[in-house]
């Protein structure tokens, strides 16, 4: 399968990078064609709500999102990986998701309709629950708006400090296994 893994972490070599990397390793070992996008390395402007995408089927901006949007179209599975920041995604991930508004319009929705999505969230809390309610609802609504199929939302817990993943090998194994059993 063609997989696009989008990493919205702001911290380089942090927990989300480690989890995402292990997922990618597992997915590649299983024979998937995985492409990655690390948002902190890209130049993606904020959506300005101009609706050029609706009127002209193109975005007002010609930045790194142009190629990334094409990568979304070319993928079968979209993996969204971000740490939990105040019950939500990072600002980088939110900008990326806002720019996917292009696909919300009826003229463009067929480009994402039926594609699968997997959400991976790293977080400092010991368990998902109250802190994840908002992000869970957000992703469900967001993916439904793009007519995408949510495969799963996976929360990797107790990963607050920069190298917490070194103490939680089980979470790295879980990420690898998730990638290796990608459906």
In the block, tokens 């130049």 appear at: 43
Q: How far apart are CA 28 and CA 84, in angstroms?
A: 26
Instruction: Give the pLDDT confidence score for residue 131 in this predicted structure.
Output: 80
Domains of the chain: 2-180 (3.40.50.360)
State the DSSP H helix or E strand holding residue 123, giving kind and residue range, or none if neither. Answer: none
Instruction: Give the pLDDT confidence score for residue 11 in this predicted structure.
Output: 92
Closest CA to 26 of 171, 134, 139: 171
Q: What is the dihedral of CA 37, 40, 45, 46, to 10 degrees?
A: 100
Instruction: Give the pLDDT confidence score for residue 123 in this predicted structure.
Output: 87
Q: How far apart are CA 160 and CA 124, in angstroms?
A: 4
Instruction: Give the pLDDT confidence score for residue 162 in this predicted structure.
Output: 72
List pLDDT tens digits, range 131-150.
889 999 999 999 999 999 99
List pLDDT tens digits, range 46-99.
999 999 988 888 889 999 999 999 999 999 999 999 999 888 999 999 999 999
Is the pLDDT confidence value at 163 over 80?
Answer: no
Instruction: Give the pLDDT confidence score for residue 55 in this predicted structure.
Output: 84
Three-class secondary structure of residue 3 per DSSP: strand
Instruction: Give the pLDDT confidence score for residue 179 in this predicted structure.
Output: 97
Number of H helices, E strands in the chain: 6, 5
Is the pLDDT confidence value at 161 over 90?
Answer: no
List pLDDT tens digits, range 105-131.
888 999 999 999 999 999 877 777 888
Instruction: Give the pLDDT confidence score for residue 127 in this predicted structure.
Output: 76
Instruction: Give the pLDDT confidence score for residue 56 in this predicted structure.
Output: 84
Is the pLDDT confidence value at 166 over 90?
Answer: no
pLDDT tier for residue 31 given thresholds of 50, 70 and 90: very high
Instruction: Give the pLDDT confidence score for residue 176 in this predicted structure.
Output: 97
Residue 171 buriedness (CB in 10 A; 0-12 / 13-18 / 19+): buried
What mean pLDDT is reported for the chain? 93
Instruction: Give the number of other Cβ atoms within 10 Å of residue 25's Cβ.
Output: 16
Residue 2 phi/psi, 5-degree rounding, is -90, 120
Locate the DSSP E strands across the chain.
Answer: 2-7, 33-38, 77-83, 116-122, 149-156
Please state the pTM of the whole predicted model.
Answer: 0.94
Name the percent of the chain in helix, strand, coil, to the closest 5.
45, 20, 35
């Amino acid at each position: 399968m063609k997989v696009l893994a989008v990493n919205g972490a702001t911290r380089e070599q942090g927990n989300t990078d480690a989890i995402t990397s292990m997922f990618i390793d597992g997915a590649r070992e299983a024979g998937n064609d995985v492409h990655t996008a690390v948002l902190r390395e890209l130049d993606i402007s904020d959506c300005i709500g101009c609706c050029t995408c609706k009127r002209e089927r193109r975005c007002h901006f010609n930045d790194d999102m142009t190629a990334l949007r094409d990568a979304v179209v070319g993928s079968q599975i979209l993996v969204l990986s971000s740490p939990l920041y105040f019950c939500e995604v990072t600002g980088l991930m939110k900008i990326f998701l806002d720019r996917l508004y292009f696909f919300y319009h009826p003229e463009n929705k067929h480009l994402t309709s039926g594609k699968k999505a997997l959400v991976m969230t790293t977080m400092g809390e010991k368990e998902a629950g109250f802190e994840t309610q908002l992000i869970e609802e957000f992703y469900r609504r967001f993916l439904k708006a793009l007519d995408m199929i949510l495969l799963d939302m996976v929360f990797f817990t107790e990963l607050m400090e920069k190298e917490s993943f070194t103490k939680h090998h089980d979470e790295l194994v879980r990420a690898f296994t998730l990638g290796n059993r990608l459906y």
